[in-house]
Structure formats: structure tokens, C-alpha cells
Structure 1
Amino acid sequence: MRRSLFSTTIHYLLLLLAIIVVGYPLLWMVTMAFKPYPEWTTVSGFTWFPKNPTLQNFEFIFYGRAEGLVVSLDRTIIGPLISSLVTSILGTFIAVTTGTLAAYAVTRFGVAQSLPLSVLQLRLFPPLAVMIPVMVMWAFIGAVDTWWGLSLIYGIVTLPFSFWLMKTFFDEIPIEIEEAALVEGCSYARIFWRITMPIVMPGLATCSLFIFILNWSDYLFALLLTQKEWVTLPVYMATLTSAMGGQMYGMKAALGVIAAIPPVVFGILIQKHLVRGLTFGALKQ
């Protein structure tokens, strides 16, 4: 009895510690986003919550200027926000579609048995090791600073994650289900779309969210493959930091709050599939 009580206490203490570790940066970011300029400088001292809440920081990044501030921005958040949404969504679509089809072909038909390890090689090298040839190729085909060039590299880089995650989900589906449908006269395409995909939909949703977050938070590829037209939010945040001398914490916090919204909304939209997708096959006997 005492041992059980002790274990439960330790469990909840560790859970509380994890919540504090994860929640502290989020609390700091959200509260800092609504603080006026004097409250997020070292002059007035640190406060947990804003004494005079304001939307000044959001106004600054959306309009390039704000009342009470003498500085201004040449670029607002609108362009980078659209760039991040377009490239992240298209990159996720490319990776998930290609990875799903390839994983199903390998799992069910034994096509290209060496493909899993070949795909994995895309992640064995650090990004910096492959960026020089990628930049040369992208410059040759005119893909630098374009929406399709950045979307394509996002799809290629995250393809191994999509392939291996979906292969794991397909491996958990008993092949007897598809064989029974095949005996009843279903074609392979109909089996895939009408039987297999509805079963694996939770895994597909989980895979899509994971890859979207990877693309959404990418900094290196966007930094090296964009110049002016298709700058994404992470690159824009770095520009904001350097332009403001690293002192505009309120504006950066406001930008962080806005950047956190799309993944959260995406997660809410697929939440009915998310929990099942994270535990897919865990209870298989």
C-alpha cells in the first residue's frame, strides 16, 4: 500500500515537473506578446503578467509600425505567413502522398525491397552536407525563391518520415482483410481506397501533422533557398531580431503566438484521429 502510494506520488510529481518545463516557455511567450514596450525591457523589471495589456506588438508586426514606437518594419508578417502556409501545406501533401503510396507498394507487393533503406539515406546526412548541391540544382532549374521550389525540397526532406511511419501503419493491417476483398472481386485500387485507407486514416492524420510541423518550423532550407519573395516565418523572425538589435522581445513573442496557431488548429481538426493514430497497433495481439 505504501509502495503504491509512493509510486503514485512520484508519478504525479514528475508529471507536474514536465508540465512546468513545457508550460513555462509558453506562458512567457503569451504574456510577453501582450506587454507594452516598457514592460518587456530590463528597465522596468520582470513581471509575469502584463500590467497594461496591449495589442501593440501584434499591430507592429502586421502593419510595420505601432503607436508609441519610433521604429518601423520594411516587411510585415502577411507575406511570410502566406509563404509558410503555402510551402508547408504543399510540402506535406507531396511527402504524405508519395510516402503513403511507396509504403503500401513495398508492404503489400514487395516492390523494391531496398527502397526503405534507400529512402532512409535521405536523413543519414546532415542538411548542411547536401545543401550545396541542392542550391546548385535549384538555381539551375530556377527554383530558388519560388513557392514550388521550397515546397518540393520540403516534400523530399520529409519523405523518409512519411514513408516509414505509413509503412508501420500498413504493417499492422492484416493482409487477410484485403485478400477477402480481392476474392469478392475488388480491384487493387478499390481495395486501397475503400478498405485500406479508411483503416489507416488515423495514422495518416498523425503522419500529416508531424510532417506539417517539421515543414512549418524549418529554418535552414528556407534561409538558403529564399531571398525576398517567399521568406517564411522562421526566416522572418530572424530578420526581425537582427533588424531590431535583438531587443524586440514583445514583437518576437507576438510572432511566436501567431506561428503556433496553424499547427494547433490542424491538431484540433484531426483530433478524433490523432489519439488512435498515435497508438495504432499498440493493442494488437
Structure 2
Amino acid sequence: MKANPRALVLKYVFLLIAVAIVIYPLLWMITMAFKPYAEWTTGSGLSWIPRNPTLGNFEYIFLGRTDSMVVSLDRTMVGPLVASLVTSTLGTLLAVTAGTLASYAVVRFNTLPALALQVLQLRLFPPLAVMIPVMVMWSFISAIDTWWGLSLIYGIVTLPFAFWLMKTFFEEVPIEIEEAARVAGSSHWRVFYKITLPIVKPGLATCVLFVFILNWSDYLLALLLTQKDWVTLPVFMSNLNTAMGEMYGVKAALGIIAAIPPVILGLLIQKHLVRGLTFGALKQ
């Protein structure tokens, strides 16, 4: 069937508009990161291309001072970057491990059928309503402003997402494959580890990426549960203000650096990512 030329043109027009909407803020952030202070103040006028490109914004967040800034930072971004990497990684491992095991048990052994809805309830409560008792509990066990306290709450909060995502992947695996392996003498654990888990590897990679992004971009939990030692990048970015106003260039530079870890993780698992996103889509 021959495609309608007008429909094809409209398709590409809408596609270009959608791409432009997505790319516009990214390009603006990149150009803003290389502008000196005089070019991102209100009276200087807006321009796409930096008139005097500089690396001063990156120097400022890494060293805490630069000749173009009047105010020096009380801390650099190195500490918050390490805090974000540690807590987001550990929280992701906790959520994905627990969510994978729990979802497999529910799908294959019908263990606690109501568990799926109970896990979902963790995401239904307003964050502030949940955080009030969490802050009291974390304070009681001395988990405030600690790496393990923030990692633990990250794992708990993102557990429902990991659980439900992996549950859909396990439901797409034919049970006959596992039954054949068990008839051959394999244990339940060996069937899960050697057969089922490799089949859902693309879905597992997708789950890891999405959960990591949720933890990496969190602001509210880190704001309430950290004070000084384990402040994360989103909280650090919110504090980049001076008496002279918002530090847009510095925040843009920090935004570029903050986007690097999720991009690297996506590139590492890209061979599984597309298949994971479409897992089960062609099932008859």
C-alpha cells in the first residue's frame, strides 16, 4: 500500500517539533554552562552562543572559587557527587534485588497474592505523609545524614516500581520452560538463576536503569534526611544561590555533570534496553 505523501510530511513535521521540544532545554543548558557571569545576568540580553566562552562555571563547582565569582562555595560538588553515586547505586541494588525475588515468588508460586497490592500502596501515599514517621524512625536509629540511611530509604521507596516492572517480565516467560528444567532434576533456585533470570535479562537491565534514575534525581528524600555529610547533587544544586541572584551558569554546568552517570549506565546496557522496553510486546 502506497503511503500518503501528505500524511508522511505531517508525520515528519510533528516528529521534528517533538524533537525540538526535547532538545531545546538541553541545548540551552549546554550553552549556558559555558557563559561567564556577565552573560547570564538579566541586563546582558539572551543569546544562544556564548560571546566569551569560559570553563569558569565548571571550575567554580569543582574548586569552590573562581576569579569571575565574588562568592566562594563552602563545599565543592565532589562530596555531593560521591554521595549521589553511593546512595543511588546501593538503593538501586536493594530495590532491584528485593523486587526481582518478590515478583518471581508472586508470579511462580502464588506467594501472598495480596502482596502485589500491598507493595503498590507504598507508592500511593503522599511523600510528605510518609516522610514524617520515617524521619522520626531514622532519627531514633541514628540514620539521619548517613549513607546507609539514605540508601535504605531509596531502596524502600523504589521497591514497588522494581517489583511491578519485573512482575510483568516474569509473567511473559512460559512456565513450561521451568517445568521442563525441574523435571530434569534442577532445583527451584537453579531454575531461577540459570534459566529464568537470563531470559528476563533485558527487562532487568531496563529496571536497573529506571530505578537508578529515580534515585539519582531524588530531591525530597535527600533534603529531609541529609544535613551536611551526605548531601546529594539535587540538594547541592538547590543551594547554588547568592545575594546576586540565581547562578544559572553554575547550575547548568552542574546539570551537565549530573546527567553523565545515567547516560553512561544507559550506554552500558543499551544492547538490552530496547529489547527490555519491548519485552512481550509481540506476544500473540
1:72 is aligned to 2:75: no
Contact 2:240 2:246 in 1 (8 A): no
Q: TM-score, normalised by structure 1?
A: 0.97
Q: Which residue of 2 aligns with 1:283?
A: 282
Contact 2:166 2:203 in 1 (8 A): yes
Q: Which residue of 2 aligns with 1:255?
A: 254
1:199 is aligned to 2:199: yes
Cα distance between partner residues in 2 of 1:245 and 1:141: 40
1:130-172 Cα distance to aligned partner (Å, 9 max, x none): 1110100000011100000000000000000000000000000
Q: Which residue of 2 aligns with 1:60?
A: 60
Q: Which residue of 1 aligns with 2:271?
A: 272
The share of aligned pairs that are identical, in percent, is 71
Secondary structure of 2:4's partner? helix
Cα distance between partner residues in 1 of 2:116 and 2:243: 46
Q: Which residue of 2 aligns with 1:116?
A: 116
Matched letter for residue 98 of structure 2? T
Matched letter for residue 18 of structure 2? A
Cα distance between partner residues in 1 of 2:5 and 2:69: 56
1:107-126 Cα distance to aligned partner (Å, 9 max, x none): 00110100000000001111
Cα distance between partner residues in 2 of 1:70 and 1:123: 44
1:66-125 Cα distance to aligned partner (Å, 9 max, x none): 123222100110000000000000000000000000000000011010000000000111
**Equivalent residue runs for 1:1-285 within 5 Å:** 4-241=4-241, 243=242, 245-285=244-284
Secondary structure of 2:239's partner? helix
Cα distance between partner residues in 2 of 1:136 and 1:247: 33
1:12-65 Cα distance to aligned partner (Å, 9 max, x none): 111111111111110010110011122222232111011222110000000000
Cα distance between partner residues in 1 of 2:82 and 2:94: 18
Cα distance between partner residues in 1 of 2:256 and 2:153: 26
Secondary structure of 1:158's partner? helix
Q: TM-score, normalised by structure 2?
A: 0.97
Matched letter for residue 143 of structure 1? A
Secondary structure of 2:100's partner? helix
> What displacement does 1:267 show?
0.3
Structure 1: state its 5+ residue gaps.
Answer: none
1:226-285 Cα distance to aligned partner (Å, 9 max, x none): 0111000000011113x4553211100001000000000000000000000000000112
Cα distance between partner residues in 2 of 1:183 and 1:245: 72
1:165-193 Cα distance to aligned partner (Å, 9 max, x none): 00000000000011111111111111111
Cα distance between partner residues in 2 of 1:191 and 1:74: 53
- Superposition RMSD in Å: 1.3
Task: List structure 1 runs of 4+ shifted beyond 6 angstroms.
Answer: none
Contact 2:36 2:68 in 1 (8 A): no
Q: Across the two proteins, how many residue pairs are aligned to each other? A: 284
